[in-house]
């Protein structure tokens, strides 16, 4: 058993190691008319498609040329779902939002959808800025808006799809043979 302190709730308790550091509904989004588990559903589908390759490789300890793209896709999927990668996505999206507010390329209706997403996530309405206030604060690069969780998580399937597309056209050179052979995926 481990001693755990939950900073959000201010509580201490004991749990088994496998139960610590979990976040419930991490990929859940709140969008009207959208399945709240759409992100998890897409990720689960992709995991299912990769499962036969992972099973075969772990059972045989043999990686075939045709397995390499699947294994790289799996590695990118695990990376993209991690906290560090998500933080990078947040930073990138927030900077894009700031620049859009600063130069006017982020239209008012898009800003209002961002504000609405924050409301759905439980953000205090008193802290949400109007379009004009946000544009004023973003001027000069001093202030950056916070990206809504649903927007960031909504990018995951596309990021994984792009990774998959990139990985389907890679070239691997085998150096284990007398004459190097190039293999395309």
Q: How confident is the model over 13-30, as pLDDT tens digits?
A: 888 877 776 666 677 776
Between these two residues, 131 and 9, which has the higher pLDDT value? Answer: 131
Do 163 and 80 contact (CB within 8 A), yes or no?
A: yes
Phi and psi dihedrals of 63, rounded to 5?
-110, 115
CA-to-CA distance for 87 and 80, rounded, in angstroms? 10
Is the pLDDT assigned to residue 125 strictly greater than 70? yes
Does the pTM of the predicted model rise above 0.75? no
CA distance 24 to 109: 32
39 or 138, greater pLDDT: 138
State residue 166's pLDDT score: 60
Q: How high is the pLDDT of residue 18?
A: 73
The predicted structure's pLDDT at residue 183: 42
Residue-level pLDDT at 109 = 96
Give the Cα-Cα-Cα angle 71, 74, 79 (nearest 5 degrees): 130
Per the model's pLDDT, the better-predicted residue between 148 and 33 turns out to be 148
Mean pLDDT, range 147-163, rounded to an integer: 75
pLDDT score of 94: 93
25-31 contacts at long range (C-beta below 8 A, 24 or more positions apart): 27/153, 27/156, 29/149, 29/150, 29/153, 29/154, 30/120, 30/121, 30/150, 31/117, 31/120, 31/150
Q: How confident is the model at residue 111 (pLDDT cuts 50, 70, 90)?
A: very high
36 versus 129: the higher-pLDDT residue is: 129
Q: How many CA within 13 A on the CB side of residue 85?
A: 13
């Amino acid at each position: 058993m481990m001693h755990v302190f939950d900073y959000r709730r201010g509580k201490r308790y004991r749990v088994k190691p496998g139960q610590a550091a979990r976040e419930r509904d991490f990929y859940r989004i709140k969008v009207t008319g959208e399945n709240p588990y759409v992100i998890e559903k897409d990720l689960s589908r992709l995991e299912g498609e990769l499962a036969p390759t992972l099973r075969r490789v772990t059972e045989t300890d043999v990686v075939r040329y045709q397995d390499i793209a699947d294994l790289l896709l799996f590695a990118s999927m695990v990376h993209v779902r991690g906290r560090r990668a998500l933080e990078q996505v947040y930073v990138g999206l927030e900077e894009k939002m700031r620049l859009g507010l600063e130069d006017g390329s982020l239209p008012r209706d898009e800003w209002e959808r961002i504000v609405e997403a924050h409301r759905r996530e439980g953000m205090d309405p008193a802290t949400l800025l109007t379009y004009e206030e946000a544009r004023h604060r973003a001027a000069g690069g001093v202030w950056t808006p916070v990206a809504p969780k649903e927007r960031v998580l909504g990018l995951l399937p596309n990021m994984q799809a792009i990774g998959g597309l990139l990985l389907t056209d890679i070239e691997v050179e085998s150096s284990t043979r007398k004459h190097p052979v190039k293999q395309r995926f």
